[in-house]
Structure 1
């Protein structure tokens, strides 16, 4: 009986993984609004009804695909800082690992920008899903803030620096992946590295700390 249940559970997980991979492909091609459960089911080789056994909506599926992407991002950042020795190294390595992950995986960046598909207006996947996704993104960026604290910044300043690095990186990544960076005859990685170096220098000099 136990062996049968184990086989059944493994089969269910395999089926779920196939559905998520199909969903990832369809979302990459069509976006959240353009994708349909029928298209995802067809890509996965199942009926639409079979999908509801694992997910109650395409929003739930999208959230799971995006969460997996953010976990992969967090792993890449964590692994990159594992061998660093100083806070300066950790901050720069973490920030550049974040940038590098999305520079090499534009589809993952596109997944994270689903909110803009319908224009500049408030949107989300539901409160609980949004909170889970935000927590995964924050966890991936957290090494930046931790390094800033180690360099003397307060928690509030460190969090602001973390947000600044995120905003700076995503702006450069959008220029990189749309090809707009070429009109400035600039290198997105070099600009990101220069920005991070400048912020580290300010921290070391005490210029990014709270006023006494």
Structure 2
């Protein structure tokens, strides 16, 4: 029994190593060619295997892409968790979460490319399959959730907190696009500084809402 278990363990280790090599190659090819432009053949050549060998580990190119993106989102979530773990007050948590989200993609532009696979080939609807898209969207939402949680702790309704989470994502995405395309230089501005100013402004609004905002949030309008 011990010999059988040892052989099984060795086979699993070899399989895991091959899978890691394939994913590393896939990440490189996807970064260069995108989801549409990448081919299983190109990934296989980069990994040092035959295209047929890839099917022992992944059912399709989309499954491979989903796994690469899942790992990226896991790293994003870990970066946000590390940032918020060092905070105490909800204001600090909100700012740390938003800036960690922005900072992760500012430092890892290829991860940003992976996350925006839906926009490859223009604005037409695209995806990796409903189930995969749902899981990946959930992972992204989990990374952003500390923003909404901190907003609720600051007195916002859950609806307003969720809108702030979406707005923070949209604001960060726009600044990151300007940063990584170099367009930010047109305005003589700093993307990190603009993101920080945006976050500080939102925290100030939560801490000291205007009378108009208070009526809207309370439902009196």
Deviations 1:123-181 (A, max 9, x none): 11100000010010000001101100100111111110000000000000000000000
TM-score of the aligned structures, taking structure 2 as reference length: 0.94
1:1-212 matched pairs, under 5 angstroms: 1-207=4-210, 210-212=217-219
Compute the displacement of 1:121 (Å): 1.2
The 8 Å contact of residues 152 and 206 in structure 1, kept in 2 or not, is answered as no
Runs of 4+ in structure 1 over 4 Å off = none
- 8 Å contact 1:151–1:204 — kept in the other structure? yes
Measured in 1, the distance between the counterparts of 2:58 and 2:24 equals 14
Q: With structure 1 as the length reference, what TM-score do the two structures score?
A: 0.98
- Corresponding residue pairs, total: 212
Superposed displacement of residue 211, structure 1: 2.3
- In the TM superposition, residue 72 of structure 1 has moved relative to its aligned partner by 0.3
Provide the C-alpha distance between the structure 2 equivalents of 1:22 and 1:180, rounded to a whole number of angstroms: 30
Larger radius of gyration: 2
Q: Secondary structure at the match of 2:218?
A: coil
Q: Deviations over 1:13-49 (max 9, x none)?
A: 1111110000000000111111000000000011101
**Are 1:80 and 1:94, in contact at CA under 8 Å, matched by a contact in 2?**
yes
Structure 1: give runs of 5+ residues left out of the alignment.
none
Query: Pairwise CA RMSD of aligned residues?
Result: 0.9
Aligned equivalents of 2:135, 2:118: Cα separation in 1:
16
